[in-house]
Structure 1
């Protein structure tokens, strides 16, 4: 009879997420620290879902409600179990005893601070259970195995996991190391976990002992190998930065392989939900915060920062531009250098060229916004809307005091302060009339020179 595949077997993931963040030196639970703008526990939950695992026993400690909420965002069924004592990893898994006892085909144990594990790796581990193994440990070939537990194998079977401090000289030469995650036969999981003892110096129950427990009770164990980076965990801020770098590198590669050009990919920083369309061009030193979509053929010039923004096909941004939440750039529009857009709709082909602030505004198709223009959207209490019509022309250094409307095809003269609506095709001037005083500049210079001379004489 052909064994069930991982996708047809029932599975419970036990996620260990009760760490105290001691080495992180943080007031926040370790697993809530973000990678690519998403809490680490959110990444883990998303990868479980991608592997077809939708039932999760979440072992929590501090910040339990926040950790559960972050995990639930992946759209999986999360049941929290509070770990009240710290008596080792096997003891932590048994915090989810109630869920394990329901008799899933597979039980997968993962860590809430290991956000890079691939769904394919989890499914390979489960495939080992389908083959008849009771324990499948996910390991890696270490460049430097010092400090890691060694996976001791013979003829394809895993005999034991030996901690570095307990290993013989021969065992220390083994480079296949324990990555910590494993899959356990769900029908025997509770039995095997309860047989793990604590006869060690610390008096703790170690999950790694389950290999020898299974073998001693008629079962079999094996190891599968995954890349070392994929199994990386996080205990310090330095390791958090390393995880971020690994995640960014992986995500950049995925996006470039999808047809996006990055001139200097190592300088581009992405968010977990960044979407960039084929044939888009991303220049150096661009930062994508959460909630950004860049459509096909758009160009993001250097040193731009985008968050909560939508950039349509053919639009250009920057250099040195900032798109804040609610910025929506239409096709072939332009937001140029040193411009900021917040909650603003920029119509098709409209241009916001330089040194301009557009907030709480709509800009019609084909409109031109001159340098130094600002929409004065805030009165100290409320935000107000500025509406600029199609093909309108706003001269440089204009201030549009919201709420205000500038009609289709209207002109606003440079340097104007506009406080009233401007009809279609009208010209609005909101500035004082220029006066010229012949010779007055010379008199001013002479007066300034006299004052300077007097001050110098007084000091001497």
Structure 2
């Protein structure tokens, strides 16, 4: 088995991004551009070398991967020079796969084709045919055999008519790569060491250059500014939406669906427009998500209804539950089977038992709520004393009247009833009514103020 060494060129500053971050740290679908490339490289490579330059410390700190060999390019002397920095770290009996940290949508299948072609010929490059090839190096062929790559600034008028262009991505047997890199010179318009010049050297050496032509121009598109970044974000999201729909997910409007993580789902799930998925999200069977919801790192069960404008983060939602509209389920919340969390309800670090209801305008935090509990409108668990958080425990079948405050630490017994408008500071016994109110009074002489 031939080892594959990925060389990812990531030294560019990305001036047109107008950002303090290096270009490869700009994000697409909540992952850095470099992160997307690394994800594909790790699937097929035994070793990864990242050539960094501008903002190198920031790049390494953000990626934070000890399995990467970080190689510094102190001077920006061209792509050939960048690859030269990595080759001393690469064994001769391997294949070097050259990738770019600002080309985030490259796919594993394409790279595998490229490596396979390299095993046959020793050198294989990836090209694409563009309607408008301006700015790209042209693939020059003779009788369909690749002879050279000519950069835009060095191309003749006839060569500029060629629409097959170089993507920069190539696979080369490392012995050949080292040989041809050593023969590079700066005799070109930019005065740099062009990696593409190794193709002409290989042809002069009698080598046949293999090629893989991708039909997806966005797969090999680089990112140079925020406009291009936004364009690739949309392409990426469209591709994800198409994939999910092919697997059975119903999307009301695929153009307004964003997945910035990984989504798995059962049968007959439906997602309405403007839903954002982040992190790792799992949906069971027959679950529906209404418009304008945000779900992050959560497990959603079967037959769950998530109503409009709800936010769910790092939570578990049980089978048959109903969430929202305008609900916020915060981290470490576990909503039980057939429970209901209604409009403008916030649940944080709490367990809500089977069949329990928190229907309106309530806050439940640091609490354990039993089965069949009814929590009325405007109820809050007062879990914070200004320094520490405290627990509220509500037993099965309890009824908490509207506009009550449960001052933790406190326990509400099984089947207990809390009268509306109460501030409960001591534990309430099971099966009994507990309330705290001042006696209702009349003030006959009182008059409403009159505007002066």
Which TM bucket (shorter chain)? 0.7 to 0.9
Partner in structure 1 of residue 188 of structure 2: 200
Q: Does 1:325 align with 2:335?
A: no
- After TM superposition, give the deviation of residue 12 of structure 1 in Å: 0.5
Query: Are 1:284 and 2:273 matched, yes or no?
Result: yes
State which of 377, 402, 407 in structure 2 corresponds to 1:401: 407
CA distance in 1, matches of 2:375, 2:98: 57
Q: Deviations over 1:209-253 (max 9, x none)?
A: 221122122322132122111122222222222232222222223
Cα distance in 1 for residues equivalent to 2:197 and 2:384: 63
For residues 333-392 of structure 1, the C-alpha deviation after alignment (integer angstroms, 9 at most, x for no partner) is 333322223323333333332322233333323333322222222233333333333333
Q: Which runs of 5+ in 1 are unaligned?
A: 1-7, 456-460
Corresponding residue for 2:218? 229
Q: Name the counterpart of 1:423.
A: 429
Equivalents in 1 of 2:428, 2:261: separation in Å? 43
Matching of residues 195-344 of structure 1 within 5 Å:
195-226=183-214, 227-290=216-279, 291-344=297-350
1:336 is paired with a residue whose SS is: strand
Find the aligned partners of 1:33 and 1:213 in 2 and give their Cα distance.
35
1:96 aligns to 2:99 (yes or no)? no
> Are the aligned partners of 1:116 and 1:232 in contact in 2 as well (CA < 8 Å)?
yes
Structure 1 match to 2:378 = 372
CA contact (8 A) 1:156 1:222 kept: no
How has the CA–CA distance of structure 1 residues 58 and 407 changed in structure 2, closer, same or farther, with 3 Å as cutoff?
A: farther
How high is the TM-score relative to the length of structure 1?
0.85
The CA distance in 1 between the partners of 2:245 and 2:75, in whole Å, is 46
CA contact (8 A) 1:11 1:107 kept: yes
Alpha carbons of structure 1 residues 252 and 435: separation in structure 2 relative to 1, 3 Å: farther
Q: 1:311 to 1:212 in 2, by over 3 A?
A: farther
Residue 9 of structure 1 aligns with which residue? 2
Aligned-partner SS, 1:79? strand
Aligned residues of 2:3 and 2:46 also touching (Cα < 8 A): no
Map of 1:392 onto structure 2: 398
- Pick one of 104, 125, 144 that aligns with 1:137: 125
Q: Which runs of 5+ in 2 are unaligned?
A: 280-296
Contact 2:154 2:188 in 1 (8 A): no
Report how far residue 20 of structure 1 moved.
1.9
Give the secondary structure class of the aligned counterpart of 2:185.
coil
3-state SS of the aligned residue for 1:45?
Answer: helix
Report whether the alignment pairs 1:351 with 2:353: no
Shift of 1:14: 0.6
1:214–1:348 CA distance, 2 compared to 1 (3 A): farther
Report deviation, 1:107. Answer: 0.9
Q: Is the 8 A contact 2:153 2:189 kept in 1?
A: no
Provide the C-alpha distance between the structure 2 equivalents of 1:341 and 1:269, rounded to a whole number of angstroms. Answer: 25
Given the superposition, is the C-alpha separation of residues 352 and 95 from structure 1 closer, same or farther in structure 2, using an over 3 Å criterion? farther
Partner Cα distance (1:367, 1:67) in 2: 51
**Compared CA separation, residues 435 and 87, structure 1 to 2 (3 A):** same
Partner deviation per Cα, 1:185-210 (whole Å, 9 max, x = no partner): 22322112222221123221112222
Distance 1:326 1:351 in 2: 18
- 1:45 deviates by 1.6
Q: 1:84 to 1:279 in 2, by over 3 A?
A: same
Shift of the 164–26 alpha-carbon distance from structure 1 to 2, 3 Å rule, reads same
Aligned to 2:284: none
CA distance in 1, matches of 2:61, 2:266: 30
After TM superposition, the structure 1 stretch with the greater mean CA deviation from structure 2, 415-424 or 185-194, is: 415-424
Deviation, structure 1 residue 130:
1.8
Q: Is the alpha carbon distance of 1:394 and 1:263 closer, same or farther for their aligned partners in structure 2, counting shifts above 3 Å?
A: farther
Measure the CA separation in 2 of the matches of 1:19 and 1:104.
Answer: 29
CA offsets 1:283-341 (integer angstroms, 9 cap, x no match): 33223333233344433332223332333333333222233332333333333322223
Q: Which of 40, 45, 58 is equivalent to 1:53? A: 45
What secondary structure sits across from 2:447 in the alignment? helix
Task: Please report the TM-score for the alignment, with normalisation by the length of structure 2.
Answer: 0.87
- Give the structure with the higher percent strand: 2
Tell me how far apart the structure 2 counterparts of residues 148 and 401 of structure 1 sit (CA, whole Å): 68
Q: Displacement of 1:153 after TM fit?
A: 3.1
Question: Structure 1 residues 444, 120: CA separation in 2 closer, same or farther (over 3 Å shift)?
Answer: same
Question: Cα RMSD (Å) of the superposition?
Answer: 2.6
